[in-house]
Amino acid sequence: MTTTTIESNLQEQRLFKPSTKFSQASYIKSRSEYNKLCDRAQENPERFWAELADSELQWFKTWDTVLDWQPPHAKWFVGGKLNITHNCLDRHLTASSKNMPALVWQGEPGDARTYSYFELHQEVCQMANVLKQLGVTKGDRVGIYLPMIPEAAIAMLACARIGAVHSVIFAGFSAEAIKGRLLDAEAKVVITADGGWRKNKVVPLKTQVDKALASGEVPSVESVIVVIRTGQRIHMQPDRDYWWQDLQNGTSCDCPAEPMDSEDPLFILYTSGTTGKPKGVVHTVGGYSLYTHLTTKWAFDLKDTDVFWCTADVGWITGHSYTVYGPLSNGATTVMYEGAPHAGNPGCLWDVVEKYGVTVFYTAPTAIRLLMTFGEELPQSRNLSSIRLLGTVGEPINPTVWMWYHRVIGAGRCPIVDTWWQTETGGVMLTPLPGAIPTKPGSATLPFPGIVADVVDLSGNPVPVNEGGYLVIKQPWPGMIRTVYNNPDRYLSTYWTKIAPKDGQYFYFTGDGARQDEDGYFWIVGRVDDVINIAGHRLGTMEVESALVSHSAVAEAAVVGRASEIKGEELVAFITLKPEYVATEELTQTLKQHVVHEIGAIARPAEIQFAKALPKTRSGKIMRRFLRAIASGEEVTGDVSTLEDRTALDKLRS
């Protein structure tokens, strides 16, 4: 973690108030209502969350203890029993709701499907029975490596139905990355597809799984379920691989939801950190159910009549919380889309909005920046009048981009919720409540009610107004990470020891730098650790470095981020080669491909620079600050006294 000053030069004063009409129709209608909720939470946090857990969710058995907080370990609604699929499906099977669309899906080649709540429930129960027949029981882990097709949501819900722990692996990850995750999670079953569609090409998913499982390298995996999506020929290993569609045939659709302990794990999702290996973030049933339900309801003002489109892939937490669990728990219609933002035609996203009458649209700034390059005419030629609320997530949004989103997509009338959160937080943490909080372009505004956020120094003292510091969360919340799977020490050291208040309190360290302005609004500056944000996705520099040094030509590697117009950041790798190798264009390509092989296409370096030596401090630490400057063509300034070999820097510069 760097201790350099955290600076933000964003000085944005414009204020956008929701219309009276929007406010009056929303759940939280005014700043004073928001304040009241926050006060109530502050007075008695346990009562606050307990009342909501009671009113917003259905429980099979009520909890005995609201919160058991033994820092840094939290247990929520201890003794309570519930099942998230009951809240997402069964409770919407009333006569008036069961035929409402739960999930509408648009495939890239133009095919489409709609599932009513009744139909989705049937599918989920059936797959849950299939999993049982394959020997999956409560607590077993199931890997899911699927494209954005309804089966991805069905597979997740089927696991949750019987208490199996899903671990979704983004379909852009490589065989090596799959293997690492399946090994760590000791998955018993993997659910994948013959392929997925991406920009008119087939992504060979099953082939990647075969490579990951080759020669029994992941001994825990007993079965592989394969969805037919693209129809191309693939290898099916006897007694291991089964077609999803075959398994479904003749299987009963009757599968009662398993009563889960509130603190039973719901899923593991791997995310990048500051060390080489991604960490398995564990979320549990009770707290996550409440937190995703409530944040979806209040931050997106979601009613059961809404058509919510969160464009994130289910391979990321945003897809978990806001494509699958949150909207379904609220009885709304969730939209799933298989294609890239510019698959087929650059207006394809707006076609989906128009076709399904999307009312709430949630995406990442990187996608908006890309859409901006296609011009205003495209969205203006579509009917986007169904949209009433817009959202962004994943990275700071530049005010210019915010204004474009507001004016061109929102026709100047839709509030924008800039939601700050993380894989670890389960749901949104900083966000305007759209009917209550006036927005400023570029600010995630204020904490969600019940969340105690602050900007502090390394000793946990609040920093003055408008000064940069570390964003922390000072009290436990229901959606918080419970542990790092298989690695409790890492849970402690990553999140709970970096900020050390003198009085022994535990503050959750987010890894982000931020400042708070005179109105208390939060402005996120970006990561203060070695995590890079590429197109709204997190990557650890160490992870990419480990991938590079695993190539026989590489002696040493250092990876830094550089600003990129569309992606936000891109990777630049500095490499020293082993003596017997020479730097060539061919080797550059080989090394880029090697990273894709080890991690996946999102980690492909934009540039590789070969160096005789990397600049290091006398204690041997790579001076990334210099590398960052060099990567972005900036003047190398600052203290070079700790540099071990000054000539290394000069050579790099030239």
The rounded distance, in Å, linking the Cα atoms of 419 and 423 is 13
| Nearer residue to ligand WT7 within complex by CB, 333 or 533 | 533
DSSP run (H or E) holding 113: strand 112-116
The token pair at 85 is: 């699929």
The rounded distance, in Å, linking the Cα atoms of 295 and 281 is 19
| 3-state secondary structure (DSSP) of residue 154 | helix
Is 417 within 8 Å of 322 (Cβ atoms)?
A: no
Q: What is the DSSP letter of 552?
A: T
Which amino acid would we find at residue 293?
Answer: H
Choices 21-29, 286-294, 391-399, 574-582; region in contact with ligand WT7 by CB under 6 A: 391-399
618: how many CB neighbours lie within 10 A of its CB?
10
Instruction: Using CB positions, name the residue nearest to ligand WT7.
Output: 423
Among 74, 444, 532, 629, binds ligand WT7 (CB under 6 A): 444
The rounded distance, in Å, linking the Cα atoms of 44 and 308 is 33
What's the closest the beta carbon of residue 477 comes to ligand WT7, in angstroms? 14
Residue 320 in contact with ligand WT7, rule: CB under 6 A: no
Residue 512 in contact with ligand WT7, rule: CB under 6 A: yes
Residue 116 in contact with ligand WT7, rule: CB under 6 A: no
Among 318, 366, 445, 494, binds ligand WT7 (CB under 6 A): 318
| Nearer residue to ligand WT7 within complex by CB, 315 or 460 | 315
| Nearer residue to ligand WT7 within complex by CB, 115 or 362 | 362
Site string for ligand WT7, 538-577 (x = CB under 6 A): x---------------------------------------
The rounded distance, in Å, linking the Cα atoms of 435 and 329 is 21
Choices 186-194, 348-356, 412-420, 558-566; region in contact with ligand WT7 by CB under 6 A: 412-420
The token pair at 476 is: 């436990």
Is 628 within 8 Å of 567 (Cβ atoms)?
A: no
What's the closest the beta carbon of residue 507 comes to ligand WT7, in angstroms? 15
54: how many CB neighbours lie within 10 A of its CB?
14
The rounded distance, in Å, linking the Cα atoms of 298 and 192 is 34
Dihedral angle sign, alpha carbons of residues 476, 481, 484, 485? positive
Residue 393 in contact with ligand WT7, rule: CB under 6 A: yes
The token pair at 284 is: 């549990």
| Nearer residue to ligand WT7 within complex by CB, 227 or 524 | 524
| 3-state secondary structure (DSSP) of residue 579 | coil
Bridge partners for 559 per DSSP: 573
Residue 330 in contact with ligand WT7, rule: CB under 6 A: no
| 3-state secondary structure (DSSP) of residue 592 | helix
The rounded distance, in Å, linking the Cα atoms of 76 and 308 is 28
Residue 394 in contact with ligand WT7, rule: CB under 6 A: yes
| Nearer residue to ligand WT7 within complex by CB, 325 or 421 | 421
Residue 45 in contact with ligand WT7, rule: CB under 6 A: no
**What are all long-range contacts of 32-39, with beta carbons under 8 Å and residues at least 24 apart?**
33/436, 34/433, 34/436, 34/437, 34/446, 34/449, 37/449, 37/450, 38/447, 38/449, 38/450
Choices 22-30, 414-422, 453-461, 591-599; region in contact with ligand WT7 by CB under 6 A: 414-422
The token pair at 23 is: 């406010």
> For residue 417, which of 443, 399, 398 has the smallest C-alpha distance?
443
Residue 533 in contact with ligand WT7, rule: CB under 6 A: yes
Choices 78-86, 201-209, 415-423, 432-440; region in contact with ligand WT7 by CB under 6 A: 415-423
| Nearer residue to ligand WT7 within complex by CB, 108 or 418 | 418
What's the closest the beta carbon of residue 422 comes to ligand WT7, in angstroms? 4
Residue 422 in contact with ligand WT7, rule: CB under 6 A: yes
Among 147, 286, 319, 396, binds ligand WT7 (CB under 6 A): 396
Which amino acid would we find at residue 143?
Answer: G
Residue 333 in contact with ligand WT7, rule: CB under 6 A: no
Residue 529 in contact with ligand WT7, rule: CB under 6 A: no
Residue 317 in contact with ligand WT7, rule: CB under 6 A: yes
Residue 418 in contact with ligand WT7, rule: CB under 6 A: yes
Choices 137-145, 354-362, 407-415, 530-538; region in contact with ligand WT7 by CB under 6 A: 530-538
Residue 484 in contact with ligand WT7, rule: CB under 6 A: no
Residue 304 burial (CB < 10 Å; 0-12/13-18/19+)? middle
The rounded distance, in Å, linking the Cα atoms of 534 and 59 is 39
47 sits in the region (left: phi over 0; alpha: psi -120 to 50; else beta) called alpha
| Nearer residue to ligand WT7 within complex by CB, 420 or 495 | 420
Return phi, psi of residue 617, to 5°. Answer: -80, 170
| Nearer residue to ligand WT7 within complex by CB, 23 or 443 | 443
Q: What is the DSSP letter of 616?
A: B
What's the closest the beta carbon of residue 620 comes to ligand WT7, in angstroms? 28
| 3-state secondary structure (DSSP) of residue 508 | strand
Residue 313 in contact with ligand WT7, rule: CB under 6 A: no
Restricting to residues 233-292, name those near ligand WT7 by CB under 6 A.
271
Residue 421 in contact with ligand WT7, rule: CB under 6 A: yes
> For residue 311, which of 238, 409, 425, 446 has the smallest C-alpha distance?
409
| Nearer residue to ligand WT7 within complex by CB, 72 or 347 | 72
| Residues binding ligand WT7: number (CB under 6 A) | 22
| Nearer residue to ligand WT7 within complex by CB, 126 or 510 | 510
Residue 443 in contact with ligand WT7, rule: CB under 6 A: no
What's the closest the beta carbon of residue 318 comes to ligand WT7, in angstroms? 5
Residue 441 in contact with ligand WT7, rule: CB under 6 A: no
Choices 433-441, 508-516, 567-575, 606-614; region in contact with ligand WT7 by CB under 6 A: 508-516
What's the closest the beta carbon of residue 192 comes to ligand WT7, in angstroms? 22
What's the closest the beta carbon of residue 527 comes to ligand WT7, in angstroms? 5
Is 235 within 8 Å of 210 (Cβ atoms)?
A: yes
Choices 192-200, 209-217, 505-513, 613-621; region in contact with ligand WT7 by CB under 6 A: 505-513
Among 126, 284, 423, 576, binds ligand WT7 (CB under 6 A): 423
The token pair at 652 is: 């790099």
What's the closest the beta carbon of residue 53 comes to ligand WT7, in angstroms? 22
Is 529 within 8 Å of 272 (Cβ atoms)?
A: no
| Nearer residue to ligand WT7 within complex by CB, 147 or 396 | 396
374: how many CB neighbours lie within 10 A of its CB?
16
The rounded distance, in Å, linking the Cα atoms of 654 and 647 is 11
Which positions lie near ligand WT7, rule CB under 6 A? 271, 317-318, 393-396, 418-423, 444, 510-512, 524, 527, 533, 537-538
